[in-house]
Amino acid sequence: MTLTTSAFNLPEALTSKADPALITADEEHFAAIASSIGQSITDLSDRLVTERRKPGGTGQEAMDRDMEIHRLATRLRTLRRFGLDLCLGRMVGLDSSEPVYVGRLGLADRDGRRLLVDWRSPAAEPFFGATHANPMGLASRRRYRWTGGRVSDYWDEVFNPDGLEGHAALDDQSAFIASLGANRSDRMRDVLGTIQADQDAIIRAGSEGTLVVDGGPGTGKTVVALHRTAYLLYSDPRLGQRRGGVLFVGPHQPYLAYVSDVLPSLGEEGVQTCTLLDLVPEGAAAAAESDPEVARLKSSAGMVAAIEPAIRLYEEPPARSMMVETPWGDAVLTTEDWAEAFAAAEPGSPHNDARDQVWEALLAILTDKFRGSDDDDDFDADDDEENDEFDAYGLRPEVPVAPLRRWLTQNPDLVRAFGRAWPVLEASDIVGALWEVPAYLRRCAPWLTDHEVQMLQRRAPRAWTISDLPLLDAARQRLGDPEAALRKRRHEAAVAAERARMSDVVEHLIATDDSEMGVMQMLRGQDLRDALVDDAALPAADHDALAGPFAHILVDEAQELTDAEWQMLLLRCPSRSFTIVGDRAQARHGFTESWQERLERVGLNRIDLASLSINYRTPEEVMAEAEPVIRAVIPDANVPISIRRSGVPVVHGATSDLESILETWLAEHTDGTACVIGDPSYHATSRVRSLTPELAKGLEFDLVVVVDAGAFGSGIEGGVDRYVAMTRATRQLVILSGDDRTGAGEGSAGG
């Protein structure tokens, strides 16, 4: 990559910023960056080809190769995607005349000269964190705005008179504020270069314990959550892919689509992102709970806790003995024997996984009961070859172990009795039975009243609702995959067969080896024989990427989670390392507690709270209209302070004006996006979305048209929905009602 023209493409209105005294040093540095990027792309491409040609290997070797290919490919994609856009800006320290350039990733030339420092490194922290109150040792800072691979604007901030010596273009933060009103698209725009000090402090906070980021609309909570994900993966060795990784949980699918490009643009492509519904297979088709009281009952952590006794009922040893008959004699399987076998299940093992452990213990107990038996009439001489196994089982040679175990495993009475005592269970069986059998629910949740037990019963127990998902998830985690044991046995059988095949190959190679040194004799070593078997190429269980455990979980719009839903996340994060992002004032069902009280109740501790109070997104005109709406239902709501005005008033009109308003706006604005909130009959287009208030949460649009907000409901839920809908606007808000009493003449929707 070589620069053949200036990296700056400033419009005529910014001619003064094109002064060579201001940009020549940048031009020279950009030329060096371009050269280094070109060379790096060539080197990385060659290394990637080399790595891909290497043998796949097995075990750790294969994992190391795959990780290196992923690392090289990710960096190569980032370099090709951004080019010079990698550079976010530069800073000059009080004790240095040489600027330090900050980029999306670190970059050096062939001589090792640092051209860019990674934005996540400690060296780059002042670039984001410096303020006039705390300059963090900086004299000045410059940020670039890139358009089409060239600088279309930049702005300088001077923290000390010495900063003027670098010939700064003194428009301080005006360009930054202007950038906040730039057109939106269907993807979150790149904001890395404009992260502010209050946001950066949260992004760089440590990952120990729980960090709560509380902030109102437009404060950049989503920006913080996503960039914090990338930062933690870079800075915290506990969170790398081999250490458990990071899970990012968003509120709904439109949100995930909106932010889908942010992490890849930061060089992080391996982060798992999902909604709560994605954590459970039944989530895709789950409907909302129709009865609010039933939803309330199911939302408690106590209801999730009922899953444990519900499964324990299927892990109680039989209360009756049974006779087991074999050709080598009969034995009584006592209640004490059953209890001993059940106790063999390893603590913490999922129910279905532990089933094999209990079965093996039961077979060992029965086999041991035949010790000393003189009944060897059915002993088969053909079983002599298995006599070398007898000592391991403590049996006399006249009682053949392998045939005895085969007989026991095929004994229909024993198999049937064990199946009843420790059955294979499905999560749907457990949860469905709770809603179908009152006595079962009453035993597992004894705190429920008779009325509540009856309320939870339903005719179609497996017609899953969103409120059922935490219970299904808890049941699935506690039970394990019912097919896992079968897949495990298939894998073990495949490995054994492959080892037997390789053993035949080795014996053939040894037998036909006519070299003077007998090279093939080295293959007699068992370690070498095992190394010839590629376990990874054999059938294995599919891995659920969202099952965890994860080293850290970030949750956005967390104010909406019920206590039961929090249990889904706690199950996936044993370290209790969380970043929780939300706004109590945007909780549709109310949030009267403090974050500390809510989170301690669900099982989190070591909780720190960080607040964001500056609204970078929503214009003053919109917030002036939205603030009374939320304060009417939540008087102490954390309403952020807007730092900019759009100059466009909020428009009120009639619902019949919708089409003309949108047509006018689209004709006057060739870029940007709009959203109609509250009119399900409106059919979305490429530039105009149609959403409910709930699905609009977390998103932003240039124009928002709120239709018939009075129909959103009353109380906290209705007030929150109206507040959320109104604060999605970054430029203009239009509020349409069923009649024209408010008047549409207060402003033009095309303004």
What pLDDT digit, counting tens, does each position of 705-728 carry?
999 999 999 999 999 999 999 999
- Residue 444: what pLDDT? 97
Residues 6+ apart with CB under 8 A from 504: none
Would strands 552-555 and 578-582 be described as parallel, antiparallel, or unpaired?
parallel
Q: Quote the DSSP letter at residue 594.
A: -
- Residue 749: what pLDDT? 47
Listed range (144-153, 460-469, 541-550) with the worst mean pLDDT: 541-550
CA-to-CA separations, 161 to 94, 166, 170, in angstroms, rounded:
10, 10, 12
Tell me: pLDDT of 474 over 90: yes
Is 488 within any annotated ligand binding site?
no
Is 216 within any annotated ligand binding site?
yes
Could you report the per-residue pLDDT of 608-658, keeping only the tens digit for each?
999 999 998 899 999 999 999 999 999 999 999 998 888 999 999 999 999
- Which of the given ranges, 114-123, 154-163, 171-180, has the highest pLDDT on average? 114-123
Gap between the terminal Cα atoms of the chain: 43
- Residue 161: what pLDDT? 66
- Single-letter amino acid, residue 496: A
Could you report the per-residue pLDDT of 663-697, keeping only the tens digit for each?
999 999 999 999 999 999 999 999 999 999 999 99
| Residue % of the chain over a pLDDT of 70 | 81
Is 664 within any annotated ligand binding site?
no
Angstrom distance (rounded) from CA 713 to CA 710: 6
- Residue 377: what pLDDT? 40
| Residue % of the chain over a pLDDT of 90 | 61
Is 692 within any annotated ligand binding site?
no
Is 222 within any annotated ligand binding site?
yes
The residue among 488 and 481 whose pLDDT is bigger is: 481
Mean pLDDT of 437-444: 97
Angstrom distance (rounded) from CA 390 to CA 536: 33
Q: What is the mean pLDDT of the chain?
A: 85
The residue among 734 and 185 whose pLDDT is bigger is: 734
Could you report the per-residue pLDDT of 302-347, keeping only the tens digit for each?
999 999 999 999 999 999 999 998 888 888 999 999 999 999 999 9
Is 217 within any annotated ligand binding site?
yes
- Residue 395: what pLDDT? 46
Q: Quote the DSSP letter at residue 13.
A: G
Tell me: pLDDT of 9 over 50: yes
Is 220 within any annotated ligand binding site?
yes
- Residue 174: what pLDDT? 52
* Residues present in the chain in total: 751
Would strands 322-326 and 329-333 be described as parallel, antiparallel, or unpaired?
antiparallel
Tell me: pLDDT of 538 over 70: no
Mean pLDDT of 195-217: 92
Whether omega before 549 lies within 30 degrees of 0, making that bond cis, reads yes
Q: Please, are residues 251 and 698 in contact by the beta-carbon 8 Å criterion?
A: yes
Tokens linked to 25: 């040093």
Could you report the per-residue pLDDT of 556-582, keeping only the tens digit for each?
999 999 999 999 999 999 999 999 999
- Residue 383: what pLDDT? 44
Mean pLDDT of 145-156: 90
pLDDT classification of 284: cutoffs 50, 70, 90: very high
- Residue 495: what pLDDT? 63
Is 327 within any annotated ligand binding site?
no
